[in-house]
Amino acid sequence: MKKARYLVPDLYTADPAVHVFNGKLYIYPSHDVESGIRENDNGDHFDMRDYHIFSMDDVDGEVTDHGVALDVKDIPWAGRQLWDCDCACKDGKYYLYFPLKDQTDIFRIGVATSKKPEGPFIPQDAPMKGSYSIDPCVFEEDGSYYMYFGGLWGGQLQRYRNNKAVECGHEPKDDEPALPARVAKLSDDMLEFGEDPREILILDENGEALKAGDHDRRFFEASWMHKYQGKYYFSYSTGNTHRLCYAVGDNPYGPFTYKGVILTPVVGWTTHHSIVEFKGKWYLFHHDSVPSDGKTWLRSMKVVELDYNEDGTIKTIDGGEE
Ligand code: FUB
């Protein structure tokens, strides 16, 4: 499969997190809706209210919509805005992690559980203790589950330092280290952080931390982790420069060294993805706003094959021309 394929023509879907469960691909996307809210840098127009989960036996095959798996009205602590989610499986139970603003308009990360990968999911009564910001993704290795998270601007990450809310949230100066994504191992019961979240350091080719002013390379949102040939690939969106980039490290906590661009800008403002191996090939799931004629808040997810060079670097995909 060398040409990208849109996956769901009848719903707007974005931020696809994809996993192989029970031999099938399961897709956990955001479900975009026309909110009527004017577009702004805070992302208020992304006013999503539920999640649908999709599955596929094959990347080229039929996409099954399993219907509403979780609705904001069923989440006891809900304020507004269900953003990018992800799912993990442990001991035959499925855990859906989602960012949602609480009733004070602060993003927290919630958990909902199910016996099936497609749900329905039952939410916990409260968000994860100590959670903040957006875009959780979960990477499993040897029975340990690591959650990566964080997002700038509307994702509120700039409001935190050392896992504490600061009085006045702001981004660092251009020549200061960029704000980092976070990672934390999950607790054994999968419902809380099992340790304090740590900062993800991304280094340049000289071993220096990427600077806040390096908008072409610094982390903005949309974390994903995958492992390829023994190395850990931390990938993310650069937000206002609209790239999907990656950095490589020797363990799940990093540090990671910046390596390059996975996907050049797509039509739309946001770019978001997951990378998954299925039946011996690697795939990039992502989204763009082509089907909605460029409406940034009405996105459509798609999939394209992803290739590596012999040295383990990823071949850049042209977001404008797939
Ligand atoms: O879908 C809402 C937000 O847009 C996500 O949480 C971000 O990653 C961006 O894709």
Write the CB contacts of 158 (distance below 8 Å, at least 6 apart in sequence). 152, 169, 170, 171, 179
Distances from the Cα of 214 to the Cα of 64, 176, 218, 235, 236, angstroms: 41, 10, 6, 16, 14
Q: 120: cis peptide before it, omega within 30°?
A: yes
Catalytic positions: 15, 221
**Residue 321 pLDDT greater than 70, yes or no:** no
Is residue 235 within 8 A of residue 246, CB to CB? The reply is yes
Please tell me the residue having the least CA distance from ligand 1 atom 9: 270
Task: Delimit the domains of the chain by residue range.
Answer: 5-306
* Ligand 1 neighbours (beta carbon < 6 A): 14-15, 30, 46, 83-84, 134-135, 151, 221-222, 270, 272
Reading the block at residue 111, the tokens are 């958990």
Write down the pLDDT at residue 322. 54
Average pLDDT, the chain: 97
Q: How far apart are CA 84 and CA 14, in angstroms?
A: 8
Q: How far apart are CA 182 and CA 198, in angstroms?
A: 5
Please tell me the residue having the least CA distance from ligand 1 atom 2: 83
Atom of ligand 1 nearest to the CA of 155: 6
Region at 159 (left for phi over 0; alpha for psi -120 to 50; beta for the rest): alpha
The CATH number given to 5-306 is 2.115.10.20
Write down the pLDDT at residue 1. 63
- pLDDT tens across 164-221, in order? 999 888 999 999 999 999 999 999 999 999 999 999 999 999 999 999 999 999 999 9
Reading the block at residue 52, the tokens are 């649908």
Reading the block at residue 168, the tokens are 């006045």
Write down the pLDDT at residue 168. 84
Please tell me the residue having the least CA distance from ligand 1 atom 4: 270
Write down the pLDDT at residue 98. 98
pTM confidence score: 0.98
Q: How far apart are CA 164 and CA 131, in angstroms?
A: 10
